Amino acid sequence: MSVTGFFTDATLCIGCKACEVACKEWNGIPDDGFRWSGKSYDNTLALGHSTWRHVKFVERETAVGRGGNAAEAMTWEFSSDVCKHCEHAGCLEACPTGSIIRTEFGGVYVQPDVCNGCGYCVVTCPFGVIDREPDDGRAFKCTFCYDRQKAGLQPACATACPTGSILFGDLATLERYADERIARLHSYGMTDARLWNPKETSVGGTHAFFLVRGDARDYNLPEKPEVPTVLLKKAWSAAAVGAAAIAIASLLAFRRR
C-alpha cells in the first residue's frame, strides 16, 4: 500500500470550485451557511466542519513577473485548500478516544463512530482545519476520501478537477513531479512560484502540499507551523514542579512540631 498525497498547484487553478462540489456530493456534507462574504468569489473563507475543500481567491497588488504588464490593478490567483494530512498530526496525537487514526494510505482519518466531540483536536490543529459541527456534536474534516481510496479510486476533488490543479497519487512521485514543475515554472520566468510543504518544522511535512506564488501567508499558509506535542515536555515538567510543590508545601504546613 503506497503512501498517497495531494499536490495542489495554484498556477493551474481556475477557481471553478468543482472540487468543493464534488467533495460535498461524495461525502454528503451539509451546506456551509449560504453567507455572502463580499471577499472576492469566496463565501466560505476557510476550511471547516462542512468545508473540506476550500478554494481561495487571492487578490494582490501586481508585482514584477506577476500581472506586471496587465491593465488590471490587481492579480487574482486561486488555490484549493484542504486538510494537510500532516506527517506529525496535532489532532491525531491529541485525540483521547483514538477516533483519529493514520490510514494505510498515510492519511489522517476521523472515525465518526468513535468521536465523542471533546473538541481537543480543534485546538491542536496548527492549520485551523478540523472543527466541531455544532448540531451533530462530532468533529469533521477531509477524510482523504478513505472510502474511495479503499476502492482503488481517486478522491472526489482530484477526480473532478478539470485543469489538473489537484493531483492525487503516490506521495514520493508527486513530490518529484512538484520539483520538476517548479523548475519548469522558474525556467518560464515565473520565479516567485514556490512549494509549500513544512518539512523542516516539527510538523515534518504534509501529505497535501501546495505550489503557490509569492508569500504563502497570502494563502493563509503559515511559514513555521508547530505540532503541539513539542510543547508536552515543557508543560509536563512544569506540572511536575507544581505537583511536587503542592505536596511538599502541604506536608510542611501540617508537619508535627
Partner 1 sequence: MSYYDQPLLKKPVWTWEVPLYFFVGGAAGAAAMIGVAAQLGGADKKLVRDARRLAAGGAVLSTPLLIADLGRPERFLNMLRVFKPQSPMSVGAWTLAVFGGASTAALISDAAAVVSAATGLVMATYTGVLLGATAIPEWKKHAGTLPIHFGASALASAASLLELLGHDDKALGRLASAAAATETAIGVRIEARGGTDITTRIGGMFSGPLPLILRLIGSRKTRQAAAASQLLGSLITRIAWVEAGKKSADRSRP
Which is nearest to 155 in space by CA: 85, 234, 216, 59?
A: 85
* 41 contacts 77 by C-beta, under 8 angstroms: no
φ/ψ of 121, rounded to 5, equals -65, -30
* Residues 151-170 contacting partner 1, CB under 8 A: none
Q: Residue 3 Cβ, how far from partner 1 at the closest point, in Å?
A: 22
**Stretch in the footprint of partner 1 (CB under 8 A) among 13-21, 164-172, 182-190, 237-245:** 237-245
Letter for the amino acid at 223? E
Residues 13-42, one symbol each (x = binds partner 1 by CB under 8 A, - = not), give ------------------------x-xx-x
How many residues bind partner 1, per CB under 8 A? Answer: 74
Among 95, 110, 171, 178, binds partner 1 (CB under 8 A): 95
Shortest distance, position 230 Cβ to partner 1, whole Å: 8
Of 183 and 246, the one with the shorter C-beta distance to partner 1 is 246
Helix (H) or strand (E) holding 251: helix 232-253
Q: Please give the DSSP secondary-structure letter assigned to residue 39.
A: B
Nearer to partner 1, 156 or 212 (CB): 212
Q: Count each helix (H run) and each strand (E run) in the chain, helices first.
A: 7, 10
> 47: helix, coil or strand?
coil
Q: Is 256 in the site for partner 1 (CB under 8 A)?
A: yes
Residue 230 C-alpha cell reads as 513539542
CA gap 209, 232 in Å, rounded:
27
Minimum CB separation of residue 247 from partner 1 in Å reads 6
In the region spanning residues 56 to 85, those forming contacts with partner 1, defined by CB under 8 A, are 56, 58
Q: Which 175-234 residues touch partner 1, going by CB under 8 A? A: 215-223, 226, 228-229, 231-232, 234
